[in-house]
Amino acid sequence: MANVTKKVSWSSRDEGTGESAPLLNGAGKDSARYSSQCLNSSILGRLSAVDLDDQSNEDTETSCLKEIPHSEKLLSSKYESLDYDNSENQLFLEEERRMSSLEFRMLEISRWVVCALIGILTGLVACFIDIAVEQLAGVKYNVVKHSIDTFTEVGGLSISLILWAALNAAIVVVGAVMVAFFEPVAAGSGIPQIKCYLNGVKIPHVVRLKTLVIKVFGVISSVAGGLAVGKEGPMIHSGAVIAAGVSQGRSTSLKRDFKIFEYFRRDTEKRDFVSAGAAAGVSAAFGAPVGGVLFSLEEGASFWNQMLTWRIFFASMVSTFTLNFFLGIYHGKVGDLSNPGLINFGRFENEAMEYNIYEIPLFIFMGVMGGVLGAIFNTLNYWLTIFRIRYIHRPCLQVTEAVLVAAVTATVSFAMIYFSDDCQPLGENQAEYPLQLFCSDGEYNSMATAFFNTPEKSVRSLFHDPPGSYNPQTLGIFTLSYFLLAFWTYGLTVSAGVFIPSLLIGAAWGRLFGIFLASMTNGSIWADPGKYALIGAAAQLGGIVRMTLSLTVIMVEATGNVTYGLPIMLVLMTAKIIGDYFVEGLYDIHIKLQSVPFLHWEAPATSHALTAREVMSSPVTCFSRLEKVGNIVDVLSNATMNNNGFPVVSEFSASDEPGRLCGLVLRSQLIVLLKHKVFVERAHSSLIQRKLQMKDFRDAYPRFPPIQSIHVSQDERECMMDLSEFMNPTPYTVPQETSLPRVFKLFRALGLRHLVVVDEENRVMGLVTRKDLARYHLGKHGLEEMQISQT
């Protein structure tokens, strides 16, 4: 099995050594340097006398974790969990108790304000992307069209081809360079990353401002560069980043703290806002506020809270409204509300678009097709991704691949248009850039409508162009070539979504199916190709991403017509059932390939035989209430024991008997305590010192310094630390006999990070973390256990 550098993983590379970062097999010198660094830092850590600045240390630390395995049978231990369970320690409770009910109300209002801001900013970002893409693509297409129009008569269309390919490549290279060199986590649609975040896995850099900026410009470049991608998926990531940023009232990247929303500086609150941001993103992308809420719930939430849901809904609403409003102004129709999303499918209204009960089997058949094609797409992309992980991991290679794809896309498009002789009369519904090419005057090349356009507009044409606008061959060739381009494109090191390409592929074969039906039935009124294009689009998208309820609602909201609710549901369900039979959804595949310890909805059905005893990690490093500082520093510095939560026990009575649980303390809390030197000079004597506040913990959140950056002198090592006030005195516990499904349910429902396993006398026997639960999955031969890789 090949190991790969962290380059191709979602985690960001460390800037300093980025370009020369090595592949394990074949770069001896570099890896030697790295391992010596690792060793070095670990020694430094053990001496606990390091006082370097944060950044360089972070680099050292991350570069030690540079290889990740590619196999989906592994879980990487490098991903940490988020704390979705509040640590209810004394400080926290005191603060909460001090707050009056008026203050709680103010807090509630500020939550609404934050959601409004999230909505507005997400809408604005979507608006910016839309306008930028339209302008840039407009310039490009005009230049190319001019060139083609010029050269068609005189010959020399190859120059036009080169021009087109060069333009595409030039635009794409900008985005690819940004993503590959500066923030690899901004690649792709970002939906898998947000899924992981909402699931409780910390993906490094995923909600940082820098990621947002690169994502936005990356999307503009890849869409304008003519790749087979959409700008809708990345909006979900963008919304999430905006939410994470706004809700914290500060930006670590910009080093600005606005001193607002300080209460929200913890994982629990932040997650709620990120859900809202993701929903606002969907809402802006598809004009689907309800769909956005459902997306957030389907992908992320485990606990449904009415007020939270409602706030998410509000953010979604504001987002689509903002987008609508500003796009209305941009299009010169102030006050017009017909642009609720980046894409809308146009209005389906004529009589022919109604469906009859006898069409339902046809829809189900299309669902089956969507499922099969989706599975093929996912499988191909899976192999391609493994290939990429193995061989295309250096940024320069990645950029090269992106440029290559851009050029190939242009070439394929050109070839399609060139060899197609499908001329259509220039009618009222004419294309935006009608290419005459070899058609006679007053006609245009219909293949050009599909290729010589942004994918959104192509989708709309396929839905709405009157019957007869496309000939079957054109559609067939288009489907095939776009299918191949799209599967090649997803996973490139550019910011790009897979929704629109999927819809486009589906719409193309759906329309083809509709034309086929119409010819079979001698053109009955019901076999409207536009209707079948819509159903095909739903089927294909469902077959690839495998979302159900949320996707149904998104599609219905995007079509603006509830009539299609039932067929879309049927088609999505069928596509999911068929697709799941073969292979997982695209996002899940990518999550698995990153070895993320992702917790699904339920424990595997046959896991009742396992109990907490088998699942837990044991023995556990515990601290006592009054612990020696040196001890704590040593434990925290020990790289092989990368724990983040430590049970606090009352006494170690007998040396071999574990102590009674009396709390749980987090690594991050200990770090803050060490940083503020909250030491008791001598054991049992207490010095007057500044009392730590929740604020101190919040200020350090979320980038707690590594232990190596904290200087602890030899004297201080002899001091004691009183953890009573800072530990969570009421961690959730389970007895050792608890079955895995029961542990899982508790873990998932409460969003836990650590669950202490105790015996009947409340002694600490072990600790269950996310990785302990995520490693069991139902394979072909019953329950299987995944390996946990240390890298």
Q: Which C-beta is closer to a copy of itself: that of 143 or that of 573?
A: 573
Q: Which is nearer to a copy of itself, 360 or 397 (CB)?
A: 360
3-class SS of residue 626: strand
Assess contact for 221 and 172: CB atoms under 8 A.
yes
DSSP strand pairing (3-5 vs 67-69): antiparallel
**Least Cβ distance, residue 500 to a copy of itself (angstroms):** 20
* Nearest to a copy of itself of 367, 395 (CB atom): 367
- CB 340 to a copy of itself: min, Å: 8
Q: In terms of CB distance, is 58 or 272 closer to a copy of itself? A: 272
Shortest CB 350 distance to a copy of itself, Å: 11
Q: How many CB atoms lie within 10 A of CB 461?
A: 23
For the stretch 783-787, contacts whose Cβ atoms lie closer than 8 Å and that sit 24 or more positions apart, written own/partner, are 783/604, 783/606, 783/607, 783/610, 786/73, 786/74, 786/75, 787/73, 787/74, 787/75
- Distance between CA 382 and CA 386 in Å, rounded? 6
Provide the minimum distance between the beta carbon of 337 and a copy of itself in the complex, in angstroms, as a whole number. Answer: 6
Under DSSP, is residue 783 helix (H, G, I), strand (E, B) or coil? strand
Toward a copy of itself, which CB reaches closer, 402 or 661?
Answer: 661
CB of 215 to a copy of itself, least distance (A): 27
Q: How far is the CB of 668 from a copy of itself (least distance, A)?
A: 20
Q: How far is the CB of 548 from a copy of itself (least distance, A)?
A: 5
- Least distance CB 363 / a copy of itself (angstroms): 12
Please, which residue, 470 or 564, has the CB nearer to a copy of itself?
564
Place of tokens 């005893």: 613
Q: What is the DSSP letter of 350?
A: S
Nearer to a copy of itself, 223 or 603 (CB): 603
List b or e across 301-318, with b for residues whose CB sees 16 or more CB atoms inside 10 angstroms: bbeeeeebbebbbbbbbb
Looking at beta carbons only, is 320 or 381 nearer to a copy of itself?
Answer: 320
Amino acid at 311: R
Instruction: Please say which residue, 34 or 321, places its beta carbon nearer to a copy of itself.
Output: 321
Closest to a copy of itself by CB, 562 or 654 = 562
d(CA 365, CA 220): 36
Instruction: Report the C-alpha gap between 68 and 24 in whole angstroms.
Output: 10
Contacts of 770 (CB under 8 A, 6+ apart): 81, 200, 201, 597, 599, 747, 753
Q: How far is the CB of 630 from a copy of itself (least distance, A)?
A: 27
CB of 742 to a copy of itself, least distance (A): 6
Q: How far is the CB of 461 from a copy of itself (least distance, A)?
A: 21
Instruction: Closer to a copy of itself by CB, 399 or 734: give it.
Output: 734
| Tokens, residue 560 | 């603006």
Q: Closest distance between a copy of itself and the C-beta of residue 126, in Å?
A: 16
Considering the complex, what minimum distance in angstroms separates the CB of residue 660 from a copy of itself? Answer: 6
| DSSP string for residues in 753-777 | SEEEEE-TT-BEEEEEEHHHHHTEE
Contacts of 546 by beta carbon, 8 Å cutoff, 6+ apart: 374, 575, 576, 579, 580, 584, 585, 586, 588
Answer left, alpha or beta for residue 768, where phi above 0 means left and psi between -120 and 50 means alpha: beta
Helical segments of 392-444, H only: 395-419
Q: Which is nearer to a copy of itself, 198 or 629 (CB)?
A: 198
* CB 4 within 8 Å of CB 66: no
Nearest approach, Cβ of 499 to a copy of itself (angstroms)? Answer: 18
Closest CA to 497 of 171, 172, 188, 168: 188
Query: What whole-number distance in Å separates Cα of residue 326 and Cα of residue 546?
Result: 32
Nearest CB to a copy of itself, comparing residues 308 and 389: 308
Cβ of residue 200: shortest distance to a copy of itself, in angstroms? Answer: 14
Nearer of residues 560 and 630 to a copy of itself, judged by Cβ: 560
Residues in a beta bridge with 188: 495
* Nearest to a copy of itself of 4, 569 (CB atom): 569
If the CB atoms of residues 151 and 330 are measured against a copy of itself, the closer one turns out to be: 330
Minimum CB–partner distance for residue 733 and a copy of itself (Å): 7
Angle, alpha carbons 113-118-121 (nearest 5°): 120
> CB of residue 465 vs a copy of itself: minimum separation in angstroms?
22
- CA–CA gap between residue 159 and residue 149 (Å, rounded): 12
CB 247 within 8 A of CB 273: yes
- Alpha carbons 768 and 747: distance in angstroms, whole number: 9
Strand locations in 92-218 (E): 201-202
CA distance 784 to 778: 6
Are 58 and 723 in contact by the 8 Å Cβ rule? The answer is no
CB of 491 to a copy of itself, least distance (A): 25
Residue 274 class from Cβ within 10 Å (0-12 exposed, 13-18 middle, 19+ buried)? buried
Residue 289 phi, psi (nearest 5) = -65, -40
Q: What is the DSSP letter of 723?
A: -
Q: What is the H or E stretch that residue 498 is in?
A: none
Q: Is the Cβ–Cβ distance between 770 and 702 less than 8 Å?
A: no
Q: Which is nearer to a copy of itself, 505 or 662 (CB)?
A: 662
Cis peptide before 192, with omega less than 30 degrees from 0? Answer: no
**621 versus 650: smaller Cβ distance to a copy of itself:** 650
